[in-house]
Amino acid sequence: MQIHKVGVIGAGQMGNGIAHVFALAGYDVLLNDISQDALTRALALIDRNLGRQVVREKITEAEKANAIGRISTTTTLTDLGASDLVIEAATERETVKTAIFEDLQPHLKPDTILTSNTSSISITRLASRTDRPEKFMGLHFMNPVPVMQLVELIRGIATDEPTYKTMLGVVESLGKTAASAEDFPAFIVNRILMPMINEAVYTLYEGVGNVRSIDESMKLGANHPMGPLELADFIGLDTCLAIMNVLHDGLADTKYRPCPLLTKYVEAGWLGRKTSRGFYDYRGETPVPTR
């Protein structure tokens, strides 16, 4: 199937990155969010991140302008009805995602492919709530989308071969590398990464180290580009907690128990960079550890 028009739902940090890479690869992108402010912020961020690529001579000014020209925005979900491919990148909550697909599907063409950028939720279960489980897949980008090479492709139990092949081609057309993962809680990357982040929060909770010493240890001692707590703030602590809950519920093993301190930060609304406070406080000139 030929994909030209791409609808992206959710204009948070993932949605804006996904819109960015699709527009740069020549697709027409319609970006949707319930909040006009989120759409305005997303367009400004896309402009800034494309600008970085111009400065670093990865793309030209003309390519940047063309990419921006291919992105439109809407707060009306049903405007995405003409899309060939829909990528849902809204908040990591199953009820939110299910409601989006249920509201959208009566307006779609019969052959539109539906995908979710979920970090952890069962693709089979999301697909089963739509009218086209055979044309439904997980399409899991990594953050920051314009930089990270990997895209996980997750087939639900009913996903058909033409849908999988089409999505493999789409990932290739973005210049990215696909890795296929089976449909189990949190797939591959987050099955491995998130327990490490959760363990870093336990290390903090138990007083083994403080925010700075834990992050320095993993950066200088294990060559990670970001410390685990800095990375958790970058991903979003609400998203980290949601993924740990899916692992804990889905695999029924206490080793996935979310750290109570992670829960407390989320309860405080300290979600990391996106709320300017998490394991670090970002409100000043430089990030300051909160513990």
Ligand X SMILES: NC(=O)C1=CN([C@@H]2O[C@H](COP(=O)(O)OP(=O)(O)OC[C@H]3O[C@@H](n4cnc5c(N)ncnc54)[C@H](OP(=O)(O)O)[C@@H]3O)[C@@H](O)[C@H]2O)C=CC1
Is 61 annotated in the active site? no
Contacts to ligand X from residues 75-104, by CB under 6 A: 89-92, 96, 100
Buried b (16+ CB within 10 A) or exposed e, 82-114: ebbbbbbbbebebeebbebbeebbeebeeebbb
Token duo for residue 6: 């791409």
Residue 52 near ligand CAA by CB under 6 A: yes
Contacts of 288 (CB under 8 A, 6+ apart): 280, 281
Residue 92 CB, nearest approach to ligand X (Å):
3
Is 216 annotated in the active site? no
Contacts to ligand CAA from residues 76-115, by CB under 6 A: none
Residue 286 near ligand CAA by CB under 6 A: no
Residue 171 near ligand X by CB under 6 A: no
Residue 278 near ligand X by CB under 6 A: no
If you search the block for the tokens 């405080």, which residue do you land on?
A: 268
Is 199 annotated in the active site? no
Residue 210 near ligand X by CB under 6 A: no
Closest by CA position to 143, among listed 234, 279, 51: 234
Helix (H) or strand (E) holding 234: helix 228-235
Catalytic, out of 117, 190, 198, 230: 190
Is 152 annotated in the active site? yes
Question: Is residue 2 annotated as involved in ligand binding?
Answer: no
Residue 231 near ligand CAA by CB under 6 A: yes
Helix (H) or strand (E) holding 198: helix 189-205
Among residues 18 and 142, whose Cβ is nearest to ligand CAA?
142
Of 3, 6, 15, 113, the residue at the interface with ligand X (CB under 6 A) is 15
Adjacent-strand bridge partners of 154: 138, 181
Instruction: Name the residue type at position 237.
Output: L
Helix (H) or strand (E) holding 250: helix 237-251
Q: Which does 106 bind (CB under 5 to 8 A by kind): ligand X, ligand CAA, none?
A: none
Q: Which does 190 bind (CB under 5 to 8 A by kind): ligand X, ligand CAA, none?
A: ligand CAA
**CA 123, 126, 130 angle in degrees (round to 5)?**
125
Catalytic, out of 88, 122, 140, 198: 140
Q: Which does 35 bind (CB under 5 to 8 A by kind): ligand CAA, ligand X, none?
A: ligand X
CB 30 within 8 A of CB 6: yes
Alpha carbons 286 and 291: distance in angstroms, whole number: 15
Q: Return binding residues for NAD(+).
A: 10-15, 33, 92, 97, 119, 143, 274
Note the residues at the interface with ligand CAA (CB under 6 A): 49, 52, 56, 58, 119, 142-144, 146-148, 189-190, 193, 225-226, 231, 235, 239
